[in-house]
Amino acid sequence: MDKNHQMWADLGMDLKTHDLLCEALPGAYGDVFLTQENRPECMDYFEMVAADIHGIRAAELVEAQKQGRKVIGTFCVFVPDEAVVAADAIVTGLCGGSQFWVPEGEKYLPANTCPLIKASMGARFGKTCPYFRIADMLVGETTCDGKIKAYEILSEDIDVHVMDLPHQKRPQDFIAWENEIKLFMEKMEDFTGNKITLEKLNESIKLINAKRRALARLYDCRKNKVVPISGTDTLLIMQIAFFDDPARLTAQVNRLCDELEKRIADGVSVAKEGAPRILITGTPLAVPNWKLHNIIESSGGIVVCEENCTGTRYFSHEVKEDNATMDEAVKALSDRYLGNINCACFTPNPGRIDDILRLAKEYDVDGIIDCNLKFCNLYATENYFVERAIKEAGIPILTLETDYTDSDAEQLRTRVGAFLEMLGN
């Protein structure tokens, strides 16, 4: 048995079923990524992580656990990584992005649930994802109906802490969210046995802000007329950012950005002349969900920005640093997380429309695709406002709904192709 298989066996995984996933991924990965031309050399790091996606990082986490550190699994950009890091624990994102896990999830959840939630549940209960096995504790949030109920089922199997996210952004909601962050920090202290000091919290804010700055720098490179990196490669980096070590990820993204900025100076673009520049908005694209990016970019378009949770919502806006008191630091976290993430779970959510229109300008896009996971009622309903505002701004928009199956790939390809062709004229 090789090292990975030994680790997976030790984690109590279903090796036989997991092998099927391991066998399918390289082909899928190759089709999407290795067919791209002229990729940045500094994708080498991300290539390596992706090639052994259930191995390298998982082994690091297992090793950290042996040294007494806790691993905390999260599902949402509202959960502040800073609180986990300040307790000397490690965050790992757990959202599932493959159809592989969906049937197992449907044993526990209604079929009419969004594929991300079904896949996440399936990955845990099917014992086919090492990160779900490694996580000592899960952190949920009350963002949507599907998740709040799924967490109840998960909590029968593993310790789950749920953060009660307000659904409005009034002054009292910010205070409520500060209190939720404090409760979460207490939970982290209890669970890890480590005290969260002001110094540690300020340090962790700086650590995560540095990661945010690196990702923002990466996105800034895409604003240029010369597009030095594909949307597909950027998406992979974002997906890895959710579970990689934050300091190393920051360094690697900055190393890549050095190359990308040189590419811009040298006029090296991955996009063909005149390729329509696309902004994607909507629901998150969890690893390994690369379907939409692949369709767009293999149909002649170039994705230059993602206004979603695996895009700008993840890194935009920094947390205020060097806070003088614990209360000030917690308020800084509340302000950044509640104040600046414009998820469709808010009522109303005009900030998202503002974000989309601003990003469309900043990234000089030719068209917008509002793409939402099937059965995500929040985003599907918010499309009513999103589509109208985009049309009013005179920007072409295509609305899509999809899941993790391949059954609609050809239909999506046809619709996206027609949209890109229209933009090309």
**Which residues of the chain form contacts with a second copy (CB under 8 A)?**
108-110, 112-113, 142, 144-146, 148-153, 155, 162, 164, 166-168, 172-173, 176, 179, 344-345, 347-349, 374-375, 377-378, 380-385
Least distance (Å) from a second copy to the CB of residue 415?
17
The residue (of 61 and 79) whose beta carbon lies closer to a second copy is 79
Least distance (Å) from a second copy to the CB of residue 288?
25
> Which of 337, 282, 280, 344 shows the shortest CA–CA distance to 314?
337
Least distance (Å) from a second copy to the CB of residue 96?
17
The residue (of 143 and 239) whose beta carbon lies closer to a second copy is 143
The Cα–Cα gap between 51 and 26 comes to 7
What DSSP letter does each residue of 238-254 carry, written as one string? HHHHTTS-HHHHHHHHH
Least distance (Å) from a second copy to the CB of residue 267?
44
Least distance (Å) from a second copy to the CB of residue 76?
14
Least distance (Å) from a second copy to the CB of residue 120?
13
The residue (of 240 and 397) whose beta carbon lies closer to a second copy is 397
> Which of 166, 21, 33, 219 shows the shortest CA–CA distance to 102?
21
The residue (of 22 and 183) whose beta carbon lies closer to a second copy is 183
The residue (of 145 and 408) whose beta carbon lies closer to a second copy is 145
The residue (of 110 and 193) whose beta carbon lies closer to a second copy is 110
> Residue ranges of the alpha helices (H) in 278-398?
291-297, 312-315, 326-340, 350-362, 377-392
Least distance (Å) from a second copy to the CB of residue 294?
25
The residue (of 31 and 157) whose beta carbon lies closer to a second copy is 157
First-to-last C-alpha distance (Å) of the chain: 56
The Cα–Cα gap between 184 and 190 comes to 10
List CB contacts of 274: < 8 A, sequence separation 6 or more. 424
- Residue 59 pairs with which residues in a beta bridge? none
What DSSP letter does each residue of 58-127 carry, written as one string? HHHHHHHHHTT--EEEE--TTS-HHHHHHTT-EEEE-----GGGHHHHTTTS-TTS-HHHHHHHHHHHTT
